[in-house]
Structure 1
Amino acid sequence: MAENPNFGVVWRGYHRGQVEQCLDELRAELAEAKSGHEAVVSQVEDLEKQIAVLLEDNQELQAALDRVCLAPIEADGLTERLRHMMELARLEATEIKATAHAQRVRDEKRRKQAEQDFELAMSARRREALREIEAQKAEAAAEAERVLAEARERSDEAESVRAHILSQLEAANKVLEEDRVAAES
């Protein structure tokens, strides 16, 4: 967006084309910011889906582990290798769960930060646009006051010239009247 659009002053208000162009630029920036926001939201949603899939897989693994653990098996029947594999599976499931949770927390923070950044940017742009509009209004008011003062001054000058012409006209009429009276006598 232009830093200072400098709208041209027309007879009343602002130059409509310049104001519309400025508004179009602001709308384009807003659309771009919304598009970026939507992309971030879409990415967060994709990551949430991945987390949901990982959590579901983890629940399935946990259920399978629970079934295996609940079945009465003689301690002598389990080999050391099987116990080790079960422990590794449990550790891996715990690690996957922790990673998914951490990723979800990070994604949520990024989403919130993107929303805050978007709001701050839009708020700053709104404030800047309002400041520019107020400055333009002040300039327009000052220009209108200057034009009014100039018009009053010219009106006063015209009135002074009119009064002078009337006094000369009256003097000329008086001379003509005197000449007419003198000519009749």
Structure 2
Amino acid sequence: MSLGEERELVPLGAGFDLAKRGYDRHQVDEHLERLDGDLKMLAADRDAAISQAGDLARQLEQARGEIDNLRGQVERLGQPPTTVEGLSERLQRMLRLAQDEAADTRARAEAEAGHIRAKAEADASAMRARYEQLLSELDARRKEMEAEHRKVLEDARAEAEAITQKAKEERDRLDAEAEQHRTKVEEDFEIAMAARRTEAMRVLAEQEAASKAEAERRVREATEEAAAIRAKVAEEEKAANAEIERRRRESLEDANRRKQASITEANARVAEATDEAQRRVREATEEANKRINAAADRVEALRSLRAGIAEQVKAARAVLHEASAVLGDGAPAEPVPDEQPTRPATPRPAPAPKSTPRDGAASKPTGE
């Protein structure tokens, strides 16, 4: 690919649209990106050409090695193992045929090797020339792109300075206009504020008068409402006092009734308790009399038994005395004096308790 063809593929004189502050930045960025892409593609082509030249050089060296191997084989085959005089006629003929064939093979191999070497050298020369041409074209293309890039930057910088100067002048003009407008607005604001202040003072005076009237009305209504509430509270207090007095009287009457009922019930319970106590005393007296009589009967029986036992003892002593006399003892035994049993007094039954009148057991209830 020649330099002219590359210029057709990557045009250098691309025109840009004029914007407010110079060329269109988007178009400039796209153009620069496209130039970078072209440079990268050319660098890739250069690397591919260098790689291809290296491959061809390696193939040439490999072909040279094969040619040297074939030449060595031909030389080894061309050397006779023995002399022609020592061989038979048939072997001499075969040896000559082999030598002729080896010479023919060597000639063909040398011719083919020369052809391959010449072709490889021609290809290598062409690739070297192509590589040098690509390098020169790439160098020229790089210089042109750098010059174009510098020109674009200078144009953009000049355009930016012009736009900056124009913007500064526009800013000064706008500042002056804004200052004039601000002064006018401040004057209008002062006038409007004075009018509004007067109107506000008038409205405040009216509102203050209305507020005072409303406050007086509310105070008057509150006073009247307080008087009504006080009267209502006094009536409710009077009614409450009457209700309290009525409930107090009812409570006193109820208490008196309950007191009278309690006294009556207490008297009845006292009378019942008195009757029960008298009944139990009578029963206890009767039981005591029964037990005393039974004890007296038992004492009489014991006395009779004692008298019988005394008679038996007396008879036994008499028998012993007689036996002693019969046996010839010395002094006779002393007679046992007769026991005189004492008769206890007969117990008397306990008198029955006197009954107390019921009317005297409880006091009479007293009225209020």
Give me the TM-score of the superposition, normalised by structure 2: 0.35
Quickly say closer, same or farther: Cα 1:155–1:54, change in 2 above 3 A.
closer
Mapped to 1, the partners of 2:152 and 2:39 lie a distance apart of 22
- Match of residue 116 from structure 1: 129
**Deviating runs (4+, > 4 A) in structure 1?**
5-10, 149-163
Quickly say closer, same or farther: Cα 1:64–1:5, change in 2 above 3 A.
same
Deviation at 1:124, TM superposition (A): 0.7
1:81-120 pair list within 5 angstroms: 82-120=95-133
After superposition, what is the alpha-carbon deviation per residue over 1:26-78, rounded to whole angstroms, capped at 9, x for unaligned? 22332233224323432442343234223212212202312x0x632218745
Q: Decide which structure has greater helix share.
A: 1
Mapped to 2, the partners of 1:31 and 1:143 lie a distance apart of 31
Mapped to 1, the partners of 2:167 and 2:32 lie a distance apart of 32
SS in 1 for 2:128: helix
1:55 aligns to 2:68 (yes or no): yes
Quickly say closer, same or farther: Cα 1:109–1:87, change in 2 above 3 A.
same
Quickly say closer, same or farther: Cα 1:162–1:27, change in 2 above 3 A.
closer
Greater radius of gyration (CA): 2
Quickly say closer, same or farther: Cα 1:143–1:39, change in 2 above 3 A.
closer
Quickly say closer, same or farther: Cα 1:142–1:30, change in 2 above 3 A.
closer
Residue 72 of structure 1: which of 83, 87, 90 is its match? Answer: 83
Give the gaps of 5 or more residues in structure 2. 1-8, 17-22, 177-368
Q: Is the 8 A contact 1:51 1:104 kept in 2?
A: yes
Count how many residue pairs are aligned between Structure 1 and Structure 2: 160
Quickly say closer, same or farther: Cα 1:126–1:9, change in 2 above 3 A.
farther
After superposition, what is the alpha-carbon deviation per residue over 1:77-122, rounded to whole angstroms, capped at 9, x for unaligned? 4544542441232132033123213312320231232122123113
Moved more, 111-120 or 137-146: 137-146
Mapped to 2, the partners of 1:25 and 1:73 lie a distance apart of 72
Q: Is the 8 A contact 1:58 1:93 kept in 2?
A: yes
Deviation at 1:5, TM superposition (A): 8.1
Residue 144 of structure 2: which of 131, 150, 154 is its match? Answer: 131
1:143-158 pair list within 5 angstroms: 143-149=156-162, 151-152=164-165
SS in 2 for 1:3: coil
Give me the TM-score of the superposition, normalised by structure 1: 0.62
Mapped to 1, the partners of 2:114 and 2:145 lie a distance apart of 46
Q: Is the 8 A contact 1:30 1:122 kept in 2?
A: no
Quickly say closer, same or farther: Cα 1:149–1:119, change in 2 above 3 A.
same
Q: Is the 8 A contact 2:35 2:145 kept in 1?
A: no
After superposition, what is the alpha-carbon deviation per residue over 1:119-165, rounded to whole angstroms, capped at 9, x for unaligned? 311321231232133123224323433443465467578779999xx
Letter in 2 for 1:72: T
- Match of residue 12 from structure 2: 4
Mapped to 2, the partners of 1:152 and 1:97 lie a distance apart of 81
Letter in 1 for 2:38: E
